[in-house]
Amino acid sequence: MGAIEKFQEIYENRHDYANIWKAKHPGGKTLGCFCTYVPEEIPYAAGVLPVRVLGSHEIEDYTAPHLFGMFCPFCRDVLAQGLQGRYSYLDGICDANCCMHLLQSFEAWGLNVEPRPKVLRVDAPCTTQSPHSSPFLKGELECFKKDVEEWVGKEITQNDLDHAIEIYNENRRLMKKIYELRKGDRPPITGLESMYMVVSSQLMDKEEHNSLLKEVLKELEQRQLDREVGTRLMMVGSENDDVEFIRMVEQKMSLPATIVIDDHCTGSRYFWAEVVPKQDRLEAIASRYIYRTPCPNRDWPERRRFPQVLQLAKQWRAEGALVIQQKFCDPHELDIPSLREYLEKNGVPTYFLELDVTMPAGQFSTRVEAFIESLMEDLV
């Protein structure tokens, strides 16, 4: 197995990875992160393994007594994992005042999942646009750092924070390097592999992930994929670890296509911005989370995400964008008509798809193929 394939293995066996990590780190704690706004650098600095809590894309009824069916499929899928005991290795869970959908899963987890984890929370600002957002988050991170220190029973020193920031920044730089390679006429890595790469970074010890990324970069220097690139597509959305969907687009349609770039929180939004070093480490971390590419939920009163999405589409030469949304997500739903109009006015055709826990492959395949056909000058 090459280094690239290792990402998929981690994604598919994420719980094994965490359990092995715990075996290798006696007394080490794992922290389930419900959103990419959790400032992972801080628990990582304390020797904790941050693990993104994700769903499994299976039909379930475990959450029916806890979450009303009008809430997004992702938040229900996440809670279902906890209720089925799949994350029993988690010592704590953490949310960053993200969306109300996931906040429900987070609190329902704290109430109902055994063994009961330590419940930590970062009361992050809901907007990233106020001039007071970053100073406020810095103050909140000071409190969060104390919470983590109390939980693990040790002080987080400046050196610990520096080490964590460096590891995380290196991870971001390496993944960006790999994303850069997707700008080429023949990207050496597919959209599916790229998603496995990003999501596995949310599940692994970043230091180990960095080693893997360095191996992958070497592999990619020589790699020639035996597949047609076809139409270059961008994916825009929220939590979209729908690997079956990307597999369908890239491997199972009669018209070839490749996802060359994305804007979602299991993709570029997770790692694009680095922590810019400052004398005050928590201020530096706070700035990173405020000025990163925003989730639509925190992008108001202006729409600052749109120009960034367009820039990615242009730089990676996307011929069209698949705008994908988890059903029932109001912040995305209030962006999508304007986002589509914005992209289309700027020469990026779009196609909208609404996701649920599982993916209707037949229907989506027909629809995406029709969209790709509309982008092609010539079918032959």
Partner 1 sequence: MAEIRKYPTKQFDCWNKAKELRMEIYQKLAQKASGEKNWLVVSGGTEGLIGLPAGLGDDYIPFGGEPYGASTGAMGKSEQMMAYCEAKGYARDLCGYCRNYLGSTFGDKFTFGGKYPHPDFYFQLHFCDTHGKWYQPAAEYTGKPYFVIDIGASYRWPKWNESEERKKNKFEYVLAQMHDSIVWMEKITGRKYDDEKLADAVYNEILSTSIWAKCCELNKNIPAPMDEKSMYAFYVIHVLRRHTKEAVEFFNILYDELQDRIAKGIGGAEYERYRMLHNSQPPWYALHIFRYLEKFGVVCIGSQYDFMLSGGWDYYYDKNDVPHIRAAEPPVDLKEKLKTRDGALRALTSWLLDYGLQIKSFRFPMIERRNIDVAIAKDWNCQGVIMHLNRGCEGWAVGQLEMRRALVEAGFPVVTYEGNVADPREFDEARTFARFDAFMESQGLKRLG
Contact call for residues 285 and 258 (beta carbons, < 8 A): no
Q: How many CB atoms lie within 10 A of CB 105?
A: 29
**334 contacts partner 1 (rule: CB under 8 A):** yes
- In the shown chain, the binding pattern of residues 44 to 73 toward partner 1, with x for contact by CB under 8 A and - for none, equals ---------------------xxxx-xx--
- Residue among 85, 184, 337, 347 that touches partner 1 (CB under 8 A): 337
- Residue among 9, 60, 91, 107 that touches partner 1 (CB under 8 A): 107
Nearest Cα to Cα of residue 241 among 203, 213, 204: 203
Instruction: State how far the Cα of 143 lies from the Cα of 376, in Å rounded to an integer.
Output: 54
- Choose the binding region for partner 1 from 25-33, 44-52, 96-104, 188-196 (rule: CB under 8 A): 96-104
**Is the Cβ of residue 49 or residue 290 nearer to partner 1 in the bound state?**
290
**97 contacts partner 1 (rule: CB under 8 A):** yes
Instruction: State how far the Cα of 196 lies from the Cα of 216, in Å rounded to an integer.
Output: 13
Residues 6+ apart with CB under 8 A from 282: 138, 141, 142, 145, 161
- Residue among 23, 132, 153, 362 that touches partner 1 (CB under 8 A): 132
- Choose the binding region for partner 1 from 39-47, 160-168, 254-262, 294-302 (rule: CB under 8 A): 294-302
Contact call for residues 233 and 192 (beta carbons, < 8 A): no
**127 contacts partner 1 (rule: CB under 8 A):** yes
Instruction: State how far the Cα of 130 lies from the Cα of 359, in Å rounded to an integer.
Output: 38
β-pairing, 350-355 vs 49-52, is: unpaired
Nearest Cα to Cα of residue 237 among 261, 262, 270, 202: 262
**133 contacts partner 1 (rule: CB under 8 A):** yes
What is the smallest separation between the CB atom of 370 and partner 1, expressed in angstroms? 18
- Residue among 55, 125, 237, 294 that touches partner 1 (CB under 8 A): 125
- Choose the binding region for partner 1 from 210-218, 241-249, 328-336, 369-377 (rule: CB under 8 A): 328-336
**Is the Cβ of residue 47 or residue 135 nearer to partner 1 in the bound state?**
135
Q: Which of residues 209-228 bind partner 1 (CB under 8 A)?
A: none
Side-chain-facing half-sphere of 376: CA atoms under 13 Å: 14
What is the smallest separation between the CB atom of 130 and partner 1, expressed in angstroms? 6
Instruction: State how far the Cα of 102 lies from the Cα of 107, in Å rounded to an integer.
Output: 9
The alpha carbons of the chain give a radius of gyration, in whole angstroms, of 20
**297 contacts partner 1 (rule: CB under 8 A):** yes
Nearest Cα to Cα of residue 66 among 53, 52, 78: 78
- In the shown chain, the binding pattern of residues 150 to 179 toward partner 1, with x for contact by CB under 8 A and - for none, equals ------------------------------
- Residue among 15, 22, 163, 327 that touches partner 1 (CB under 8 A): 327
Polymer length of the chain: 380
Instruction: State how far the Cα of 358 lies from the Cα of 347, in Å rounded to an integer.
Output: 31
**Is the Cβ of residue 272 or residue 352 nearer to partner 1 in the bound state?**
352
Chain mean position to CA 310? 19
What is the smallest separation between the CB atom of 132 and partner 1, expressed in angstroms? 5
Instruction: State how far the Cα of 63 lies from the Cα of 350, in Å rounded to an integer.
Output: 34
Q: Which residues make up the interface to partner 1 (CB under 8 A)?
A: 65-68, 70-71, 97, 99-101, 103-104, 107-108, 110-111, 119, 123-127, 130-133, 136, 139-140, 142-143, 146, 296-297, 300-301, 303, 327-328, 330-331, 333-338, 340, 354
